[in-house]
Chains A and B, each alone.
Chain A
Amino acid sequence: MLSIEKLNVSVGDKKILEDFNLKIGKGEVHAIMGPNGSGKSTLSYVLAGKDGYEVDGKIMFKNENIVELPADERAQKGIFLAFQYPIEIPGVFMNNFLKTSLNAVKKAKGQKEVDVVEFLSLVKQHAKKLGIKDEQLGRALNVGFSGGEKKRNEVLQMSLLEPDLAILDETDSGLDIDALKVVADGVNALRSPNRSFLIITHYQRLLDYIKPDFVHVMVNGSIVKTGCSKLAQELDKIGYKEFQKAI
């Protein structure tokens, strides 16, 4: 599904990712853990095609190097990023935004676009599962949403867009215990042999609900250790000190 080879990313003089390599197979769930500032969010932005970085290396997605593609085309090809800090867009109602987005992706895929009626029934169905009230769908995107509401909204968008690769950047941060369960259920419901996940988190707890196939430790812009889900439990106890020392 995704193969990142020798990815180097910097902003001005600051090197953020260094010789970063990662392979994610179809249907796999990978988790990345790592200390603050190690470059996890930057990785997610670069995968999603955000401008403003000097990028060198290869990002193979479904056998195509997408490193030059703009963000919208990557999204249309099936990459989804649940943002660590979802942005507020005043005046743009969630319903309208979601429908526009869904139809943009459908159109790119050559699928039939949904009309208002189809859309509303679809979105309500997904929202209900995630405990999102209809009232929230009629509000401006993320404006005045609580931290948890923003994160649920990201998962809602993921459910609607049905991406091939979903990157979740600290989607669990800021969620209460019940919400964590709801969000994890949302992700699990989407797990399929054709869909891969890259989950960035600081907490092992999320990985209790969403069992990853691999856990990577990222320090200073590269992966320093890879293991199975047990690694997350170890990290929970010992922290990152050991790995940071090793560098």
Chain B
Amino acid sequence: MSDNLIQEQIKQDYAYGFVTDVESVRAPKGLNKEVIQFISKQKKEPQWLLEWRLKAFERLQSMTEPNWQKPQYPKIDYQALYYYSAPKGFKEGPKSLDEIDPEIKKTYEKLGIPLNEQKRLAGVAVDAVFDSVSVATTFKKKLEDIGIIFCSISEAVQKHPDLVKKYLGSVIPLTDHYFATLNSAVFTDGSFVYIPEGVRCPMELSTYFRINASNTGQFERTLIIADKGSYVSYLEGCTAPMRDENQLHAANVELVALDDAEIKYSTVQNWYPGDKEGKGGIYNFVTKRGICKGKNSKISWTQVETGSAITWKYPSCILQGDNSSGEFYSIAITNNYQKADTGTKMIHLGKNTKSRIISKGISAGHADNTYRGLVSIHSKASNAKNYTQCDSLLVGNLCGAHTVPYIDNKNSTSTTEHEATTSKISEEQLFYCKQRGLNQEEAVSLIVNGFCKEVLQQLPMEFAVEAQKLVSISLEGSVG
């Protein structure tokens, strides 16, 4: 096959690999105090936040990257990255949908995320983050009417500083670990959500992350606060152009659920996975953590991870309030040379806390997929309960699947349950499907979708169908 043809083929597989031609304004290359000051200035941040960032940067100097994960990667040169990139002419701060650069508008149309409110899926509000900045938030007005704040984190810093100051870093401390601290120093944009007491958010809130510029790290920061008795369902989606070099996406996402509140957080991650030989792709090194601060609160993470060269993340729940519960539903698909090391941490602190973990790992090609999870039950967490189920599915003979569960139970009235299976799509199953008229790809997709149905069902309806398609697409060409 000629190079061109191969390129064509790869492009077909990853439909979101195009680059938008917009001029961008960048921070000077590299990681240093000046760059952090530049970012903070661009965003017209108050002094306290600049100091907060600088404290993180200080701290970073004495930290080293963790290295216990299964997927290894070449050393990242942090001085060779750009930490801020915004479309030229971009004004920080609130803006109307008419002000968006038409090229960027087109980009989102192409990605199936029209920013025009009339064209949007009914019942879904979107915050669109392009490289380092939020370019648009839809349905803001409608949400404001019932007291819901849904905007970019940069805007929240300006308009709701008290809330940001109170909760930023309250779940993921500044000093947590290398990537989280790096994010705290240089984070650029992400979403902010506040649901007031007793309000049930009437629509899905979502953020769409797009990396466009090259050599640019994306350091997303998202903060969601569900006040007493409130409910919100939030979804994020991600894509990036195809580039030969690896790009870093190191996000921090913090969730806070107060008494009787519920947060449902779903991710459909489809960053560029690299080509079929494993060249390029996103390093998706993300810290996601939620705290069930109040009694009877609930946090549920659902993730469909199909993209990225390396996915390395453990969306976690700190179950502090009595009777609170945490859930983690995950599908991680790795194909070609992709690698994933993902799972969750459920930290039971309060009484009668419950957690449920359902993980489905699918490995194809030369890929490697690890489930790593911690269930920690503290001594005061009487009657805590955990149920964990980890299933791995192998497609072909060259891929790997691993399950690494850690259980730490310090309370004798508490119970943990762990089940794990590994299975393979057999030639016999494929032949059976083909005999019934399905082609290879339809057969694999049917079997895989069946395998992860339990998790797909957790996604908001509007996205379940999309996710199902994505599952099929990401396995195309994986067998045969």
The smallest beta-carbon distance between B344 and chain A, in angstroms, is 22
Q: In this assembly, does B450 line the interface, its C-beta being within 8 Å of a C-beta of chain A?
A: yes
Q: In this assembly, does A72 line the interface, its C-beta being within 8 Å of a C-beta of chain B?
A: yes
Chain A hits for B451, CB < 8 A: 90-91
A101 vs B440: C-alpha distance when bound (angstroms): 13
Binary contact readout A56-95 vs B (1 if CB under 8 angstroms, 0 otherwise): 0000000000000011100110001101001101111100
Q: In this assembly, does A129 line the interface, its C-beta being within 8 Å of a C-beta of chain B?
A: no
Interface centre among B427, B447, B450, B451 (most CB of A within 10 A): B450
The one of B428, B429, B438, B453 that contacts A100, using a Cβ cutoff of 8 Å: B438
Q: Are B450 and A87 in contact (CB under 8 A)?
A: no
A161 vs B435: C-alpha distance when bound (angstroms): 11
The smallest beta-carbon distance between B309 and chain A, in angstroms, is 28
Report if A104-B442 is in contact (Cβ < 8 Å); known contacts: A91-B453, A92-B447: yes
The one of A81, A91, A100 that contacts B435, using a Cβ cutoff of 8 Å: A81
Question: In the complex, what residue of chain A is closest to B448 when comparing beta carbons?
Answer: A91
Q: In this assembly, does A242 line the interface, its C-beta being within 8 Å of a C-beta of chain B?
A: no
A52 vs B426: C-alpha distance when bound (angstroms): 13
Q: How many residues on A have C-beta within 8 angstroms of the other chain's C-beta atoms?
A: 31
| Number of chain B interface residues as a range | 20 to 34
Question: In the complex, what residue of chain B is closest to A142 when comparing beta carbons?
Answer: B432
Q: In this assembly, does B446 line the interface, its C-beta being within 8 Å of a C-beta of chain A?
A: yes
Q: Are B446 and A96 in contact (CB under 8 A)?
A: yes
Q: Are B446 and A72 in contact (CB under 8 A)?
A: no
Q: Are B438 and A83 in contact (CB under 8 A)?
A: no
A52 vs B431: C-alpha distance when bound (angstroms): 11
Q: Are A51 and B450 in contact (CB under 8 A)?
A: no
Question: In the complex, what residue of chain A is closest to B450 when comparing beta carbons?
Answer: A91
Q: In this assembly, does A171 line the interface, its C-beta being within 8 Å of a C-beta of chain B?
A: no
Report if A104-B437 is in contact (Cβ < 8 Å); known contacts: A51-B427, A87-B432: yes
Report if A92-B435 is in contact (Cβ < 8 Å); known contacts: A51-B427, A87-B428, A87-B429: no
Cβ < 8 Å to A, chain B residues 430-456: 431-440, 442, 446-447, 449-453
Q: What are 21 of the A-B contact pairs (CB < 8 Å)?
A: A45-B431, A70-B434, A71-B431, A72-B438, A72-B439, A75-B434, A75-B436, A75-B437, A87-B428, A89-B432, A90-B423, A90-B450, A90-B451, A91-B447, A91-B451, A92-B449, A101-B433, A101-B437, A104-B437, A140-B450, A161-B436
**With A89-B433, A100-B446, A105-B437 already in contact, 4 other A-B pairs whose C-beta atoms are closer than 8 Å:** A76-B437, A83-B435, A91-B447, A101-B436
